[in-house]
Every structure is written in structure tokens, then in C-alpha cells.
Structure 1
Amino acid sequence: MYNSQPKLSIGLPVYNGETFLQESLDCLLNQTFSDFELIICDNASTDNTEEICRNYAAQDQRIIYYRNPSNIGCACNFNRVLKLSQGEYFKWAAYDDLHAPDYLSKCIHVLEENPDYILCHSHTFLIDKYSNFLQNYEIKMQTNSEKPEIRFHELLTKHFCYQLYGVIRKKVLEKIPPMGGYGNADGIFVLRLGILGKFYEIPEYLFFARCHDQQSLSMFFPNYMLFTNNNPQYSLDDLPDFYQYSVWFDSSNKGKLLFPHWRIFQEYLISIIYSPLTLPQQLSCCRSIIKKLAGTEFLLLKDLLIALRNIFSLA
């Protein structure tokens, strides 16, 4: 029988996900751990996403389907599924990723047995649009360190925020601001979680992240596969287009004068200033930011030049 107060809430924000959605839903609904609600927020899809969701919801009472009357952007839709959740634990799920049948049970077990961890995820396989194996995701970080300044430093590493799709204690999520509407907002969000507590990475490949040409990484970060294994061919020229990424995160940014790299820098500082870190820990985090920005100062200048160009073009 469905529990009206489930142990876990799964939030699945989706927009035009008809190609992969059914396979993703089947993986979640067939988990060995079943005490969850599945909240789907459809961001005004124009394909068959709504029909798929309504059909699944009619067959499984754990599914709660919402449809936004208009596209509110990625970040707002991510935040909405969290706001609607009731569980003690929370997990975001993507419409195109897959999970091993025991993913949830193993993550919940870790968090139940280890109260000092706030998030649990697993090793990750990268798969293609046909669900075929591509490669292991080999970017590993010391997010289980006892020292928050070390976790902060590690999470400044270029990575794809797959930790965001782990199982998280909801009470910790409520201690940080919602995901913002700017480029790298997911990275900042994970960073703020890392300041508050340790992550545990299950040493098994239980999460399968799909790579395909419809996802945001492909649209704004065409060479993202180059550094999944810390490929030496990756360079600053392969960075994503944070201008378009900002619009994707928040559709209200379209047409606005944006300073995306300055905004990321600002959010790094805010993460430190409003954290529970001690002053020595905050200074250590600031040093990490300086090291990260070394060699990328031209991106801040690029923001200013683009803004000036846009201002003069409107004059």
C-alpha cells in the first residue's frame, strides 16, 4: 500500500523527454526500495511527455504528475519538485538517466547507518542514446573528507555534478538557497551541500548517465566528453557557453544583460561568507577560488566586453 508520508521523495523535472522517459521511469519504479513518491514536473513539454506521464501515474499511485502552464526554466523546475516533496530523503532524477535496481536501497542504507553523511551516490557509467556503455566516469573527489575546506576545494574541480542525483537528507537541502538561475548553478548548489557535510560514493557502478545530443551538456558544452577522464586535450576553449546556459537555467534571463562569469565568482564568495565555516576555513576556501581562477581572468574581461558590445548595439 502506498505510504502518504514516504521515506524518500524522487523529483523528476522534465521537458520534451519522450525519447528516454519511459526507460527512466521503469528503472525507478522497479527499484528494490519502494517506499517513495515520484514527483514529475513537466515544464510545458510540446511532445508526448504529458501523455507518457499521465499513463504511468494512472498505473502507479506513487507517481504525482504536475504540468507547468509555461516553461519556467531548468532551475525553477528543479526547485519545484523539491518544494513539493514530503520525504525524509530526497533525490533528483533526470528523464534520461538510468539506475541499477538496488541503487536506492544501497544509498538509503548508507545514510541510515551513517548519520554524518548528508548525501550518498555511486560510481557512474556513461551510456549512449541506445543505453550502450561508453566509458566509466573517472572524475573522483574527496567529498568524504572530514574537513569542509577540503570538500570545497575538491568540488571546485571541473565535474558534471552527478552527486546532485544521489540521495540527500532533505533537512540539509533546506539549509541552503534554492538552485539559482545562472550558469553553473548546479555546480554551486553541490558546492554548498559539500560545505555542510560529507558525501559517500558507493564503490559500485549503479548510476548510468546518458550522453546524447538533446541534453544541455551537448547543447552548451560540445566537447564535454574530453575531460570525463581528465583528458589532457581539454582546454579553456572547451568551456561551455555560460551565456546560453544562464538562459537555460532561467528562461527569464533571455534578452538581459548578463555577466555570467562574474556571477559565478560572486556565488562562490557568497557560499563562503554565509556558510558555518570558521574564519581560517573561509580563508582556505578563498585561496582555493584564487587557484581555480588562475589563468581564467580573461573570462571576466570577456563578460565586460560582451556587455559593452550589447550596450552600444542597443544605443
Structure 2
Amino acid sequence: MTAHPRLSIGLPVYNGEEYLAEALDALLGQTYEDFELLISDNASTDGTADICRRYAARDSRIRYTRLPRNIGAAPNHHHVFAESRGELFKWASHDDLYARDLLRRCVEALDERPEVVLAHAAEAVIDGDGQVRVPYEYGLATDSPHPPERFRSMLFEPGGDDMYGVMRAEVLRRVKPLDSYHHADRTFTAEISLHGPFHQVPEVLYFRRDHPTRAERAHPGKRSRCINLDPRRAGRLHPTPRLLAEYVWGYVAAIRRVPLSPADRRACHRHLLAWATSRIRPGSGERVEDRAPVDPVRITVSVDALVAGREGRQS
């Protein structure tokens, strides 16, 4: 590993033994190699620590830390970013998979487009065995040169997983750290979008794994998900109405923090008001989960052919 790797990858994990090794194989087998991999083990009680230590002994790019107690997913995400050294940064999930060229294509996009603050790739949802189940088409206008248009799209359109793209670290440092209220990841990503456009590599290179123990499924209720993000949310001072109010305020605060022109700020406030009004109406608020998935025959992609470590699984 170089003294100052260009890219830092932060991987916060808690009890991830089932899929962690596959994710590490996929990341360490990238065609882009100038990175450090920061793994923060959130006091796991399974075999996560053994897996991390085994991989760290084999690859000097890995920096492994085990926290003495579970601080929650949101603070752990911030922890790996705070420890990063690269000019570029990416969060990685312990249960997702990454095509060999994902990092290279994202870094190239950032190098070719100085105005772009985040680069990611087309994605597909895979099951526990790594088979494609739900490929999605990315429909957000995050590539627009106009901040209000990007913001409006983030509000109204069911999104992808832009938070797991490759970002410019200096932009990320200007964004309020990921919070732990309901849908805090959405306000977080929306604030990033106000700083500049995103770029989507058109090829499917990112595979989000959906399985029964994934955080969203293991913690189905709003309060349960928020407590998973930060255990301090378990107290009586954090009822569901407060978590929802913080969600809406997160958008307001993001508009206030980012240096926008007066006209752009007014436009963002108008979009936010329209969004909030639409959420009040019965039957409103379409989610990506409610949309019909793209017909699998429209995408010809083999996870086993694209992801390092899965070569022997090709049929």
C-alpha cells in the first residue's frame, strides 16, 4: 500500500461473517489498486473479527479496527471516513458485491469531469447466492448542472445507492455526517447532490445483496432501524414523530448549509414544500420497492463473470 493512497474505502461492519469474505474478495480483486481499505468492526459477536484479521494479514492495504462497543451503524460510517487518507472516498457494505472494474470506472469518471462530485455505476439487486433478481434503471437527474433540479429529483424519484459511490473527500467533509433519524441516508445524499452533479457509469458494476439479515429487513420498523443506526435512539426522547420531523428538517438544514445562489435556494425550498405536501396526500410517496422491477431478460449480466473471487462459480 502506498503511503498516501488516492482512494480510501470505508467498510463498517457488524456481525457480517456470512458475506464479508465475498465482499473483501471483490474489493481486493479490483483492477484499480491505489486504495486503502478501512474496516471498522462494530464489536461483532460472530466470526467477523477472525475474517478481518485473516484478510489483513494477507493484504497490506487493509487497516482493521475493532471497536470496544457497538456505537451504531451511523457513527461507524463516520468513523471510517474520519480515519481515511485518500482524496477520494467510498463506503462499502460487507454484504454487497463489486465488479472488478467498478473503482477504475468511477475514478476515471471523476478525473475526466472535474465538476462531478460523486461517481457510481448501474446496479442490480442480488439474492443470498449472488444471483441477479431485481435490476433497476437509474432515473434520477443527478447529472443535471442545476442544483435545484438535482435536489428535486432526489426528493421525488425513488433512488439508487449513490451513497456508496466514489466521492471527492473534500466535498464529503463539507456535508453534515450521516445522522440516525428516519431516512437520514436520503437527506445525506441529497445534500451531497447540492454540491455538484453525479455521474452514473452505464454498465452494471454494483450488486446490492438483499437477504433476510440485511439491516433494512432485520429492523423493519422506523424506530428499530434508527436504533440500529445509533443505540442512543432507544430512549423515550426519540419517539417516531421526532424521527420523522428530523427527516424533514434534514432537507431544510441541507439547503441552508450549502452555498447556493438566492434563486437556487428559493427553488429548492419550493421543491421541498411541494414534496412535503405530496407526502400528506393519501396514497402518495411512491417507493422504489413499490415499482415493478425491470424485466430480468433486459439485462444480460453474470455476477460470477464480473466479480473477483467468483470465477469458479460460472455455469
* Mapping of residues 202-217 of structure 1, within 5 Å: 202-217=201-216
8 Å contact kept, 2:36–2:62: yes
Cα distance in 1 for partners of 2:146, 2:281 equals: 32
List runs of 5+ in structure 2 lacking aligned partners.
283-315
Q: 2:270 matched to 1:287?
A: yes
Q: CA deviation at 1:181?
A: 2.2
Q: CA deviation at 1:113?
A: 1.3
Q: CA deviation at 1:120?
A: 0.4
The partner residue of 2:231 within 251, 257, 265 is 251
Q: CA deviation at 1:40?
A: 0.1
* Mapping of residues 241-280 of structure 1, within 5 Å: 241-258=221-238, 259-280=242-263
Cα distance in 2 for partners of 1:220, 1:157 equals: 24
Q: CA deviation at 1:152?
A: 0.5
8 Å contact kept, 1:161–1:186: no
In structure 1, give the amino acid aligned to 2:186: G
* Mapping of residues 83-232 of structure 1, within 5 Å: 83-157=82-156, 159=158, 161-221=160-220
8 Å contact kept, 1:155–1:191: yes
8 Å contact kept, 1:42–1:68: yes
SS in structure 2 opposite 1:293? helix
SS in structure 2 opposite 1:168? strand
Deviation digits for residues 198-237 of structure 1, max 9, x if unmatched?
Answer: 100011100000001111222345xxxxxxxxxxxxxxxx
Q: CA deviation at 1:161?
A: 4.9
SS in structure 2 opposite 1:40? strand
Cα distance in 1 for partners of 2:222, 2:157 equals: 14
List runs of 5+ in structure 1 lacking aligned partners.
222-240, 300-315
Q: CA deviation at 1:268?
A: 1.0
Deviation digits for residues 148-193 of structure 1, max 9, x if unmatched?
Answer: 0001111113545511111101010111111112221111111110
* Mapping of residues 26-105 of structure 1, within 5 Å: 26-105=25-104
Cα distance in 2 for partners of 1:163, 1:200 equals: 10
Cα distance in 1 for partners of 2:160, 2:84 equals: 21
SS in structure 2 opposite 1:272? helix
Cα distance in 2 for partners of 1:148, 1:48 equals: 44
SS in structure 1 opposite 2:156? coil
Deviation digits for residues 18-69 of structure 1, max 9, x if unmatched?
Answer: 0000000000000001110000000000000000000000010000000111
2:279 aligned residue:
296
In structure 2, give the amino acid aligned to 1:242: K
| TM-score, length-scaled by structure 2 | 0.85
| TM-score, length-scaled by structure 1 | 0.85
Cα distance in 2 for partners of 1:95, 1:185 equals: 20
Q: CA deviation at 1:287?
A: 1.6
Cα distance in 2 for partners of 1:5, 1:289 equals: 40
CA RMSD between the two structures: 1.5
8 Å contact kept, 1:76–1:250: yes
Deviation digits for residues 134-155 of structure 1, max 9, x if unmatched?
Answer: 0212242010000000011111
